[in-house]
Structure 1
Amino acid sequence: MPASSADAALFQPLTAPGTYSALISGADGTTGIALAEVYDTDPGTSASRLTNVSARAFSGTGVSALTAGFVIGGNGTDTLLIRGIGPALTQFGVGGALAAPQLTLFNSSGQAIGSNSGWGGDSALAAAFARVGAFPLAAISSDAAMLVTLPPGPYTVQVIGANNTTGIVLIKVYEMR
């Protein structure tokens, strides 16, 4: 990154197990689009690993849709739980939550390979929520979730609002190991 860049970077070894958060905010209260990246700089170590990543942000329309990318490494497939949470955020005091999130998963070619809106109380999804320690969702909620098994490679997942609505949404990707 050039010294003249307005971007920020942080290298932070995380030596203790636990939950960590990073907050991105604009200088002097400004707003805009930001990219947060998290890397495992010691992937050969089995003592620790990244098991889930999430972002809570405003999801707009078009280029302002909330998009998260991730890469599956190794040689075999990996099963992931992906959630787009809007309505359930209100129980945590979050105002302006996206009322009807639509979750879409894309492969590295930009082809949609999965989608969900209104997870519908599916028992396999409910079991996956419990297994990874995710908070439960009401069976009739408009929150979105999908359970996918994917080969190695890069992917993106996008959350938009039904009928071009906008709001605050939480996007979470969990590894199902």
Structure 2
Amino acid sequence: TITWTRGGSSPQFTRVTFEYSTDNVNYTPLGNGTATGSNWTLTGLNLPTGQNLYIRARGYYRSGNYNSSGSITESVRNAFILPPPTPTLGNISTRALVQTGDNVMIGGFIITGSGQKRVIVRAIGPSLVNHGITNPLQNPTLELHDGTGALITSNDNWMDAPNRQEIIDSGLAPTNNLESAILTSLSPGAYTAIVRGVNNGTGIALVEGYDLDPTAGSKLGNISTRALAQTGDNVMIGGFIITGTGQKRVIVRAIGPSLAQYGITNPLADPTLELHDGSGAVIAFDDNWKDSQEAEIQATGLAPSDDAESAIVRTLVPGNYTAIVRGKNDTIGVALVEVYGLN
């Protein structure tokens, strides 16, 4: 929106036109303004971003009101319009059944770009009863590991964290004191969050990662969670939010059989994948990735290595999305749900 404000006793205009230029020499018309009291306004503009601009307003006087140069007065202002934020994966979450051993919940994410990224990672359990979960993990613990597998930090009960006040100030403090949270700044690289139950407790838990500084020179590039996919309320549910403007192209994958090569003895043999929008509507479904989008999936370079695994390539507008992983014919096993940003 551009607004030209009439000041003091300057003459009234019958018409105001607006133009823009990148060199203050050659101007492109934008249109005629609309009078709103003492102002003239032009809305609905699509101006170039990320560069220096000159905006020129020309006002035409009412009959009988002239200055020494004629019946037109103009004003030029310099402006720099920041480009809109590119669409990114803003925060991520996965809900699944946490057991013991290889069946704990393992969430992974990659930070790309340059500079550090401020994040908060949470392990939610007891408060899930408020959302209809009858078997929540009563006392979740949380570990954060770097790409080498080294432990960076851990937390059991977020109120015991040394930076408890920072967690509160983020607006994302867990609602139950037995839940866990880690708020830290991370350099670009791969990270893993592991959720377990205290004293080998089991139950449904939610692992979440939030980007606290989306304007930084780094971003969440892709996310994944490994857990035991069962049936009913115990299926694996991965959520992600696309922030910014414009569309984001992603690939979502449900991996099962190929986990055997990484030492998983009970992988989900035939995972299916549903993608839901923020209203809960199913916008895509896949069982066996080669059956529908084979060429598109192969073109990403991220095709699953087993034909029984599932994948969906989709271009999405900003909003909330959910990926649900189930075993075909109600089978159970360890699975991996992944989301990769492609653009």
The TM-score with structure 1 as length reference comes to: 0.90
The residue aligned with 2:289 is 119
Deviations 1:91-124 (A, max 9, x none): 2221110011010001111111101011117132
The residue aligned with 2:202 is 31
Of 278, 283, 298, the match for 1:108: 278
The residue aligned with 2:184 is 12
The residue aligned with 1:81 is 251
The residue aligned with 1:168 is 334
Q: How does 1:45-64 map to 2 (within 5 A)?
A: 45=216, 47-64=217-234
The residue aligned with 2:212 is 41
Q: What runs of 5+ residues in structure 2 fail to find an aligned partner? A: 1-172
Distance in 1 (CA, whole Å) between partners of 2:179 and 2:298 is 39
Residue type at the aligned position of 1:91: Q
Q: How does 1:86-101 map to 2 (within 5 A)?
A: 86-101=256-271
The TM-score with structure 2 as length reference comes to: 0.47
C-alpha spacing 1:82/1:2, structure 2 compared with 1 (3 Å): closer
The percent identity for this pair of structures is 38
- The answer as to 2:308 corresponding to 1:142 is yes
Distance in 1 (CA, whole Å) between partners of 2:287 and 2:281 is 18
Partner of 1:21, secondary structure, is strand
Flag the structure with larger Rg: 2
Choose between structure 1 and 2: higher strand proportion. 2
Q: What runs of 5+ residues in structure 1 fail to find an aligned partner? A: none
Of 153, 157, 167, the match for 2:319: 153
Partner of 1:99, secondary structure, is coil
Distance in 1 (CA, whole Å) between partners of 2:228 and 2:290 is 24
Identify which range, 24-33 or 115-124, moves more after superposition. Answer: 115-124
If asked which structure has higher relative contact order (CA below 8 Å, sep 6+), I would say: 1
By how many angstroms is 1:154 displaced?
Answer: 0.5
By how many angstroms is 1:90 displaced?
Answer: 1.0
By how many angstroms is 1:77 displaced?
Answer: 0.8
Partner of 1:12, secondary structure, is strand
Distance in 1 (CA, whole Å) between partners of 2:175 and 2:233 is 28
Deviations 1:5-58 (A, max 9, x none): 2111110210x221011110000011111111111111012x210000100000
The answer on whether the counterparts of 2:255 and 2:304 sit within 8 Å (CA) in structure 1 is no
Deviations 1:126-166 (A, max 9, x none): 221x2xxx47514xx20000100011110111000001111
C-alpha spacing 1:136/1:4, structure 2 compared with 1 (3 Å): closer
Distance in 1 (CA, whole Å) between partners of 2:255 and 2:329 is 17
C-alpha spacing 1:2/1:34, structure 2 compared with 1 (3 Å): closer
Partner of 2:182, secondary structure, is coil
